[in-house]
């Protein structure tokens, strides 16, 4: 059984490629070869090549090891630092919809706004009225 390649949309693929190019430029500025970085990061040279090409199948651990060799390990902390959408949801206290249990279908004679006006309550009320009328008729 072979490895499955993760599904990456074109926009995300472009971003991975840009990150790879930036890592490659950082390596070249330090006058390091792919082999030097691979040895220091304790990964294979092909992994370094894949990172620099922006391959989506490379693990975050390998990215972090290579960034560490280049002295850029703190840059990974910038990921998702400014979560604007998440903070907006939090500020609005919106619940993210999740699939829940199926609700029972409401009966036509029930008013969902009035919890005391249900079919069951209506039957109880009618029985009580009938019992009161029977008592009054016996007297």
Q: What is the mean pLDDT of the chain?
A: 82
Q: Name the nearest CA neighbour of 19 among 46, 44, 56.
A: 56
Tell me the Ramachandran region of residue 59: left when phi exceeds 0, alpha when psi lies from -120 to 50, beta otherwise.
beta
52-87 pLDDT, tens per residue?
999 999 999 999 999 999 999 998 888 888 888 777
pTM for this model (two decimals): 0.60
pLDDT value, residue 109: 54
If pLDDT is split at 50, 70 and 90, which confidence band does 46 have? very high
CB 69 within 8 A of CB 37: yes
Q: Which residues, 6+ apart, have CB-to-CB distance to 69 below 8 Å?
A: 32, 37, 40, 41
Sorting pLDDT into bands at 50, 70 and 90, what band is 137? confident
Task: Give the closest residue to 69 by CA, choosing from 107, 30, 20.
Answer: 30
């Amino acid at each position: 059984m072979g490895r499955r390649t993760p599904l990456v949309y074109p926009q995300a693929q472009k971003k991975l490629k840009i990150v790879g190019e930036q890592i490659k430029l950082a390596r070249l500025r330090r006058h390091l070869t792919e082999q030097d970085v691979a040895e220091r990061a304790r990964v294979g040279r092909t992994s370094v090549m894949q990172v620099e090409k922006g391959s989506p199948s490379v693990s975050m651990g390998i990215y972090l090891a290579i960034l560490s060799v280049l002295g850029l390990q703190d840059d990974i902390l910038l990921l998702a630092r400014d979560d604007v959408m998440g903070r907006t949801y939090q500020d609005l206290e919106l619940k993210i919809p999740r699939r829940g249990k199926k609700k029972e279908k409401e009966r036509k004679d029930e008013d969902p706004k009035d919890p005391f006006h249900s079919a069951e309550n209506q039957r109880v009320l009618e029985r009580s009225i009938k019992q009161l009328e029977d008592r009054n008729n016996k007297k």
